[in-house]
Homo-oligomer: A and B are copies of this chain.
Amino acid sequence: MLKNETLHLSVDCVVFGYDDSGLKVLLINQKEANNEEVGQNPMSQLPGDLILIDEGLEAAAERVLFELTQLKGVYLKQFHAYGDPNRVKQLKDRAWLRSVRTQPEQRVITVGYFGLVSLQDHDPQPASFAGGVEWIDLQNVGPLAFDHNEILDGAMDALQNQLESHHISFELLPKKFTLSQLQSLYEVVLEKKFDKRNFRKNVKRMSHVVPLDEKQQGVMHKPAQLFSFNPDHLDD
């Protein structure tokens, strides 16, 4: 087995998208191998790539995400670095690496970022120019390339840990949202149910969730009050 004297660094983005149908993650298909030897069934992976020599980590995450998915202005946060020496040396990943990397045997350490977007405010089918880019329901995520399942799990943990404390739920919701949408988001992310009345009591205490002079329209039931996030008063 060939061994090289340098190592490479990449970033991988675990972008969570949310809408009323649930929590999804943005995956790309390894189609780019127009080579003789593609893996038997084309695998999916997280959007990620090597960082440039003069580029900050967060800047790299933003650039890579944009290049691969056309997404821009996404909330991104670093959560963990993955450096197992064999993380890109599994058999299943060889073919694709050879087709896309100049030094496919190189060790790669990756820094994981998780991202949050509202699927109602962003294009739910991000420009699929670079090969299939898809929002996959979290439950339907199959085996991914490299250690990307592990990275996805790490991102999910980070999201769960920070959802309540870091005022990030609003990154996953449209600018105007109902309290039921907010509650569903909490239930989906934290994987537990909340009582409607108690949940609303808590929200009322958050001064950064402000009611608008506006209601839902075109729904087959009592229209809900709309709210939005006001980043100005974050007293609590």
Q: Which residues of A contact B (CB under 8 A)?
A: 3-7, 9, 51, 53-57, 60, 78, 80-81, 83-85, 107, 109, 111
A83–B109 touching, CB < 8 Å = no
As for how many copies of this chain the complex holds, the number is 2
In the complex formed, the residue of B with least CB distance to A87 is B56
The residues of B that contact A3 with a CB separation of less than 8 Å are 53-54
- Sort A-B residue pairs by CB-CB distance and give the 4 closest, nearest first: A57-B83, A81-B81, A6-B6, A81-B111
B56–A85 touching, CB < 8 Å = yes
Known interface pairs A53-B5, A53-B7; A80-B83 also in contact (CB < 8 Å): no
The residues of B that contact A7 with a CB separation of less than 8 Å are 9, 51, 53
A81–B57 touching, CB < 8 Å = yes
A7 and B80 alpha carbons, distance in the complex (Å): 19
A9–B53 touching, CB < 8 Å = no
Our pick among B4, B85, B107, B111 for the contact of A83 (Cβ within 8 Å) is B111
In the complex, how many angstroms separate the beta carbon of A109 from the nearest chain B beta carbon? Answer: 6
The residues of B that contact A9 with a CB separation of less than 8 Å are 7, 9, 83, 109
| 30 A–B contacts, CB within 8 A, in A order | A3-B53, A3-B54, A4-B53, A5-B53, A6-B6, A6-B53, A7-B9, A7-B51, A7-B53, A9-B9, A9-B83, A9-B109, A51-B83, A53-B107, A54-B85, A54-B107, A55-B85, A56-B83, A56-B84, A56-B85, A57-B81, A57-B83, A57-B84, A57-B109, A60-B83, A78-B80, A78-B81, A81-B81, A83-B111, A109-B111
